[in-house]
Amino acid sequence: MSTLARTAATGGEGLLPELLAWSTSLDDDRVFLREDLLGSAAHATMLGRAGIVPLADARALRAALLALDAQAARGEADIPDGEEDVHMAVESLLSGLVGTAAQRLHTARSRNDQVATDLRLHVRDRARAIVLAATSLADACATRAEAEVEALLPAYTHRQRAQPISFGFQIVAWASGLLRATETMAFAMDRANELALGSGACSGSSLPIDRALVARLLGFPRATRNALDTVGDRDFALDFAWAGARVLLALGRMAADLVDLSTAEFATVRLDGAIATGSSMMPQKKNPDVFELLRAKSAHGVANVVELLVLVKGLPSGYNRDQQDDRRATLSTAPTVLAALRAMELSLPHVGLDAERGRTALADGSTQATDLAEAMVRKGVPFREAYKAVGALVRHAADAKVPLASVSAAEAARIHPALDAEALAVLEPSRAMHAKTSAGGTAPPRVREQVADVRSAAAALRARAESVPTLDVLSGRIAAEPL
C-alpha cells in the first residue's frame, strides 16, 4: 500500500525513508486510533450535512470509519505501517475502502486541529476512567475506615510517635489526599472538554463548517475560542499529566506509610502472603514490594509533568512539530495511574492491623502528654504553665526509668497540684483517642462523619466523570445522526 506521507500527499517526492522512520509518531498514535476514527466520522457527518461534500461520499466515509472503529474497539484494527502518524494511516486505509471519497475527508481540517481533537478526546476519556477508579478506591477506604474506628495505633509526626489515633482515622487521611488529587483529575477532564476541530491549521476555515454539530456529536459542551491558540495549546495535556502525578503522589504517601507500619520496628500492620514477597536469600524476610513499587510510580508521573513543561517552554504561537513529542508523556499517564490505583485497591483487603501492637505502642502514656496538659487547661491552668508542668513530669518519669502512665498521683501532684488522679486518667490511650471530638478529630463519631464526607465527595466526583460520554457512546451517537 502506498503511503500518504505529507510531501507525497501534496505532490512532492515523499520524505526520505530514513527521515520518515525517524520522524513518525505512528507507534505512539496507535493508542488513540479510536479517537481519530470517531473524530473523523463526526467531521464527515458535518461535511455532508453542511453540503461541503456530496452526501453519498459523506455516508460512505462515515460508514467505513465507524466500521473501523468497531474493529478497533475489539482490538482487531489493522493499521498500515510506513506513515507519519495515525491520521495519514487512517486516510490511507480509507482509500482502499471507499476509493476517491477518501480524498474528501480532510476538507476543512488540518492535522493541527485533528491531533488536538484526538488528544482532547483521549485525555477526557482517560481522565474519566481515572476518576472512576480513584473514587472506587476512596469508597473501599471509607468502608475499611468505618470498620476500624476503635482500632488504636500511634499517629506520627517527624516519624516519631505523636498521639493516639484510630486506624480508621489514618485510612480517612489517605482517602482525603487521594480525593484532592482526584479533584485535580476531574479539573483536567473538564479542561480537555472543548472541541478543537474546525480550527484548521491556525485560523479556521472559509468553508461553511458547523463546529456546534461536531461538538455535539463528540460530546463537547463547547468549541474552543481562538484557532491560533487552539492548535498550539497543550495546557490540557499538562493539566492531565499534573493530575496523574498528584494521584500517584497520593498513592505513594499511602504506600510509604504502609511500608513503615509493616516493618518490625513499627509492626502495627501485617501484610499477608497475597501482597508480600519473600527474599531470595533471607528466609525470614517478608517484603512490602507492592507498596514500594507503588511509591516508585510517582517518579513516572513527575517525569511526565517535567517532560511536557520543558517541551512547551518557549514555543511560539500556533502548532510546532515539537508538539508531536507530547505523546509519550501524555499517553503513558493513564496506564501508569490506572494500574497503580488497581494495585492499591487489590492490596488493601490484605492489610491487617495488629491491634495489640498498636495498644502496646501507646501504653507508656507518653503519646498522651498533650491530653494531660489539656486536662490541666480544663482545670483553669494556662496552657504554657500546663505544658511546662507536663514536661517536668515527662522528665521525672524518664529519670526514674518508668513509663509516664506509671507515675503516681502523689508524685505528679508534687510537680503541680492540677496533676491529680482525674487528670492522669487521660493517659489511657483509648480515652485519649475518644476525647478528640473536635471537627476533623479522631474520636469515632468524628471519623464516621469523615467517612460520610469521603463517600459524598467520591460520589460527586463519580457523577462528574459519568457525565462524560464514553467512546462507545460517541460511536452510537454519530451512527444515529441523520445524514
In total, the chain counts a number of residues equal to 483
Using CA atoms in the order 202, 207, 211, 213, what is the torsion angle rounded to 10 degrees?
-160
Q: Which of 23, 95, 106, 158 is catalytic?
A: 158
> Minimal CA–CA distance to 317: which of 225, 228, 238?
228
Alpha-carbon distances of 310 from 106, 112, 232, 307, 332, rounded to whole Å? 32, 20, 15, 5, 17
3-state DSSP call for residue 271? Answer: strand
3-state DSSP call for residue 219? Answer: coil
Please say if 43 is a catalytic residue.
Answer: no
Give me 1's grid cell. 500500500
Alpha-carbon distances of 397 from 363, 384, 386, 428, rounded to whole Å? 14, 20, 17, 16
Please say if 158 is a catalytic residue.
Answer: yes
3-state DSSP call for residue 164? Answer: strand
Report the Cα 375 to chain-centroid distance in Å.
43
- What whole-number distance in Å separates Cα of residue 435 and Cα of residue 443? 6
Residue 157, strand partner residues: 160
For 384, phi then psi, to 5°, come to -65, -35
Q: Which of 2, 203, 279, 430 is catalytic?
A: 279
3-state DSSP call for residue 25? Answer: coil
- What whole-number distance in Å separates Cα of residue 434 and Cα of residue 436? 6
- What whole-number distance in Å separates Cα of residue 282 and Cα of residue 408? 46
| Contact present, 113 and 196 (Cβ < 8 Å) | yes
* Residues belonging to the active site: 158, 279
